[in-house]
Amino acid sequence: MGGLKRKSSSSAKTLAKSKKKKGPHLPNSILKVIANQKRPLNSDEEDDDVIGSDDEHGGDLYEYEEGVPEEESRKNNRYDRHDNYDYELPEDFEDENVESEDDDDGGNTDNDEAEGDDDDDDRHTRMLQSLTGMPSAAFEGESKSKPVLFTEAYPEGEFNPTRDVLEGKNVLTEEDFLAPLEGTPGYQKTSKQIARMRKDTKHVVHAPLPKPQRERLERKAVIGLVDEEFSKWVHLVKKNREAPTVYFNQDVDLGYSTVGAIASEFQPRTEFEKKMASVLNDSEVSEAHRDDGARLLELNEVSMEDHIKDRNHIAKMRSLLFRHELKSKRIKKIKSKTYHRLKNKDLKNSSLGALMDPEMAKEEAMRQEAKRVEERMTLKHKNTGKWAKRMLSRGLNVKYDGTKAAIAEQLQMNANLSRKMNSMRDGSSSDESDDEEELNDGSDEDTPSRLIAKAKEKTLKALEDDEVPNAGLMSLPFMARAMKKKNEEANEEAKRALEEYEEWENSGGENSKKTVNVSGRRVFGATAKVEAPKESRKDSDNFYDDSDGDNDMPGIEDNNIEPVRDNASPARNTITDTEFDDDVAGNPASKTTFDVAMFASGSWKKMTGSKNTESKKASKKTHAPIPQAQDKKGSRDEESEDSESEAEEMVDGILTSASKETFEVPSQAELINRAFAGDDVLDEFEKDKEEVLNQEVPKPEKPVLVPGWGNWTDIQRKRGISKQMVQKHEAEKKEWEQGLKTRKDARLKHVIISEKVDKKAEKLHTTTLPFPYTSKEVFEHSMRMPIGPEFNPSTIVGELNRPEVVKKTGVIIKPVKFEEVNPNDEVDDEHPRNHQKQKPKKKTSRRQGKVKSK
């Protein structure tokens, strides 16, 4: 190496500079080699290598210096026409090169020799060149005594490789380069290195793939990654999707739960607070408090100085007050009109004046409100103005106090204008409510007498209150006189009013009550009372009158009830049926008739007998209230007229002997009915069924030839009904049959089940399947269980009716956090899964519950 260095320094002095500048322009191949060999890289070495490699390309460097013009040399330097020579003369250069690279120290002599050879050759060719004017290459071969054969039209080069190379026959390999070196001292090392290189596939850089392929590969890789990333979440997502309820009521810890908790962490910050704290926490004071408090007095002692200070302060305030009073008195005495006008004007303009005048106040408030709204909308004073922005951007607000103050003022204004306004409105609303209360006091207790009492009270108060103000405008004598006059008038009016009230209270109240009563009763009470009994009586009368035709017991009623009525007092007519039996019990007359009736019918005996025999409770039972049994026979006859079925059972069974069979002799009609039962009934039912079926599934009409239509000629007649019609009819018939077949009662001979659509009931069904369901069966099955608290044990009602999402108001839903899930885990329904914070939530809820209970 040292040799090489020397050479470069000696031979290429002029080039050195330019070469150094061109440093970055190293051919790629060289760089790669450098990288592959992984030699320790020094900057010098690199340079050496560069030079060395250049040497590889041509020892012509020397020639350049001597004869070749500048431009050519440059070209040659860049583009290696002369590289070709290198190929043709591999031995020399490789020798040199390899040696220079590999032999650290020992190769110096060899190098020198080679150099010497080189020099001689060069000199010879140069001479030849100068003689013949032919390119040096021609002579080089000559000089080496090798036959020169030009087989190619162009010299070989990067762009014109030899045919061998193209055919892949005679490609140069590392061995080719190494072969001649065998035996040289550095050879083994080099060969080892190369072998290592060959094995080391990692660092071999292949040609890049075409872009689409590369991209596809990239995509594939990315998809894999993304899939992995996503599949990680699948279980979580699935879990959440399939969870019957998702919980979002995570821990909402606001920090403090009580005022005490907040207060306990208070730290005094400002000076005042600190002072207060020092006083409050003063051990002496607290001790005194803890003791009997006697020491508190001692502590409370005020020093003389303080006392004097206090006194002076009070005196000063008093004198100030006095002065102010004097001043106001003086001002009040000023009679100048202009002065007052100006003063009034000032007052009006000032906010105070505005407040005094309601109209003005209103206007003012409106203006203020408008301003506030504008502020809130534009944020005009929040450093959004052009000026403010400029000031801020240039930092002028720091520089100048004036601007700083201005900006601060603006911000203050903004704060004022955009602050929530409560105070003013609150005040006004309270006032209003007061007024309303006052009004309500009058109106709520709506009794007129109360109202009047209130009015009276007020007038009295007014009477008492008419004192003349002894200061201000009203204190003026002429004003006072005027006021007095007015007051007198008012008083008189009030007195009159009072008198009126009293009058009303004495007489008017009663009057009004009376009228009220009259009007109230007129609607409901009196007339109803008058009319109701009349009606009932009429009704009952009607019953008895109309009952001739198909009355069940006309005879009885006609005979018995009349005398009862006669006995009864006129008042009895109005008594309703409910009171009837009591009346009967109380009325001896009716009782007698009843008893007589009982005896007459002959059932009394049996009755009592049965009473005795059956049970004692029977005595408790109802007493027959009305005499009816008297003429049972007659009633029975009439009954049997209108109600056959009823009549059969009406037996005065008491008289019949106990030994009599339960079997009753059926009537003739019934016997006949029984005998021929089922004869026509079934046929009738079949007919009915046919009818109903025809109605619900109409039978298609048979095609018929209408005379005059389609049967004019013999041929037409012969053809009969057209095929189309027949076919259509057959199709219809088929449909009809199908319709009959699908009916529920198709196989039930004895049943007709209506399949009419009930339009009113249609709204009780869904027309479409609700969303997640896709099959009717599944939907209907899922609907079969009621989920209400009436049908389920209370332990499960909650679970059954839990909403899909449980969330407390105000809880911020955080994004799903990744957590490891074992996909093989069965979903545990016992404890509703809530991906995130179930446990803390539960705790909080419990805590809250406790707090509440406290």
Partner 1 sequence: MEVALEDNNLMEKVLPPDEQEINVELEAKEKKYLRGEGANLESLKDKKLKTQLASREKLYGKSAKAAAKIEKWLLPASAGYLETDGLEKTWRIKQTDIAKEVDLLSSKNQYDIVLPDFGPYKLDFTASGRHMLAGGRKGHLALVDMMNMNLIKEIHVRETVRDVAFLHNDQFFAAAQKKYSYIYARDGTELHCLKERGPVARLRFLKNHFLLASVNKIGQLHYQDVTYGDMVASIRTGKGRTDVMEVNPYNGVVALGHSGGTVTMWKPTSQAPLVQMQCHPGPVSAVAFHPNGHLMATSGKERKVKIWDLRKFEEVQTIHGFHAKTLSFSQKGLLAAGTGSFVQILGDSSGGGYSRYMSHPMVKGYQVEKVMFRPYEDVLRIGHSMGWSSVLIPGSGEPNFDSWVANPFETSKQRREKEVHLLLDKLPPETIMLDPSKIGAMRPSRRKEKPTRGEIEAEKEVAIEAAKSVEMKKKTKGRNKPSKRTKKKKELVENAKKTFPELEEKNIAGKKRRIGEDAAAELPTSLKRFARKN
Smallest gap from Cβ 719 to partner 1, in A, equals 19
| Single-letter amino acid, residue 760 | K
In the complex, what is the shortest distance from the CB of residue 535 to partner 1, in angstroms, rounded to a whole number?
11
Q: How far is the CB of 236 from partner 1 (least distance, A)?
A: 15
Question: What CA–CA distance (Å, rounded) separates 79 from 630?
Answer: 152
Q: How far is the CB of 239 from partner 1 (least distance, A)?
A: 10
Residue 660 Cβ vs partner 1, minimum distance, rounded to whole Å: 5
Q: In residues, how long is the chain? A: 854
CA distance 375 to 382: 9
Return the DSSP state at 147: -
Q: Is 615 exposed, middle or buried (0-12, 13-18, 19+ CB in 10 A)?
A: exposed
Q: How many angstroms separate the Cα of 122 from the Cα of each of 4, 14, 16, 99, 393?
A: 18, 20, 22, 20, 76
Nearer to partner 1, 317 or 827 (CB): 827
* Gap between the Cα atoms of 717 and 711, Å rounded: 5
Q: Which is nearer to partner 1, 409 or 664 (CB)?
A: 664
Q: What is the CA radius of gyration of the chain?
A: 64
Closer residue to partner 1 (CB): 230 or 543: 543
| Least gap, CB of 826 to partner 1 (angstroms) | 12
Q: Which helix (H) or strand (E) holds 805?
A: strand 805-806
Minimum distance from residue 525 beta carbon to partner 1 (Å): 17
Nearer Cβ to partner 1, position 516 or 651?
Answer: 651
Q: Tell the smallest beta-carbon distance from residue 734 to partner 1 (Å).
A: 10
- DSSP of 297-326: HHHTPPPHHHHHHHHHHHHHHHHHHHHHHH
Give the Cα separation of 633 and 638 in Å (integer). Answer: 9
Considering the complex, state which of residue 61 and residue 564 has its C-beta at the smaller distance from partner 1.
564
Q: In terms of CB distance, is 104 or 664 closer to partner 1?
A: 664
Of 250 and 630, which CB lies nearer to partner 1 in the complex structure? 630
How far apart CA 272 and CA 292 sit, in angstroms, is 29
Q: How far is the CB of 731 from partner 1 (least distance, A)?
A: 10
Burial class (CB in 10 A: 0-12, 13-18, 19+), 752: middle
SS3 666: coil
Residue with Cβ nearer partner 1 (281 or 615): 615
d(CA 675, CA 671): 6
CA–CA distances in Å: residue 23 to residues 11, 49, 71, 80: 18, 11, 20, 18
Q: Kindly tell me which of 90 and 739 has the beta carbon lying closer to partner 1.
A: 739
Element (H, E) at 247: strand 246-247
DSSP helix/strand/coil, 806: strand
- Between 195 and 532, whose beta carbon lies closer to partner 1? 532
Nearer to partner 1, 319 or 754 (CB): 754
Closest CB 242 distance from partner 1, rounded Å: 4
Token pair recorded at residue 174: 């590392």
Residue 593 CB, nearest approach to partner 1 (Å) = 14
d(CA 67, CA 129): 11
Q: Which residues are paired to 806 by β-bridges? A: 247
| Residue 101: count of CB within 10 angstroms of its CB | 19
- 3-class secondary structure, 394: helix
Which has the closest alpha carbon to 817: 237, 245, 259, 241? 237
With contact defined as beta carbons under 8 Å apart, do 88 and 151 qualify? no
- What's the min distance (Å) between Cβ of 845 and partner 1? 22
538: tokens are 């009429």
CB atoms within 10 A of CB 700: 16
Instruction: Give whichever of 389 and 734 is closer to partner 1, judged by the CB atom.
Output: 734
Angle in degrees, 0-180, between the axes of helices 108-132 and 90-102, rounded to the nearest 10: 150
CB of 223 to partner 1, least distance (A): 14
C-alpha 430 chain-centroid distance:
38
CA angle 385, 386, 392 (to 5 degrees): 90
Per-residue DSSP letter, 732: H
How many alpha carbons lie under 13 Å from residue 853 in its C-beta half-sphere?
6
* Least spacing, CB of residue 689 vs partner 1, in Å: 8
Q: Which is nearer to partner 1, 314 or 778 (CB)?
A: 778
State in angstroms the smallest separation of the CB of 579 from partner 1.
9
Orientation of helix 136-144 relative to helix 108-132, angle to 10°: 120
Least CB distance to partner 1 at residue 804 (A): 10
CA-to-CA dists, residue 531 to 52, 198, 523, 677, angstroms: 141, 129, 12, 55
DSSP 8-state code for residue 467: P
Write out the H or E segment, with its range, that includes residue 143: helix 136-144
Residues in contact with 415: Cβ distance below 8 Å, sequence separation at least 6, in sequence order: none
The amino acid present at 505, given as its one-letter code, is E
Q: Which amino acid is at 317?
A: M
CB of 591 to partner 1, least distance (A): 15
Please state the closest distance from residue 651 (CB atom) to partner 1, in A.
6
